Amino acid sequence: MILRTLVQSALKTGCLSVASEGLIRQILEIKGYQTSDLEALTVLYEAVKSGQIEREAHDTRFLSFPDLHRQSAVTGVL
């Protein structure tokens, strides 16, 4: 639920804050997400990629969605 809220906020403001991106990374690391969260993150990823949402972070590293999908396919866990 937190991930979806962070994505909704970014979509609403047009900006993904450093703090929000950090929270997303932490949630992904502890695997505290559901399938619907991954769907929301896919929307976020596409919005950032298309320029609809700007990232505050200056590093070039962004969330690695292909790894998430590969992990879920291998382990069967989302």
| Residue 71 confidence (pLDDT) above 50 | no
Return the higher-pLDDT residue of 77 and 40. 40
pLDDT in tens, 32-68: 888 889 899 999 999 999 999 999 987 766 665 545 4
Q: How far is CA 71 from CA 20, 51, 66, 68, in A?
A: 23, 27, 9, 5
| Residue 75 confidence (pLDDT) above 60 | no
Residue-level pLDDT at 35: 86
As given in the structure block, the two tokens for residue 28 are: 């992904």
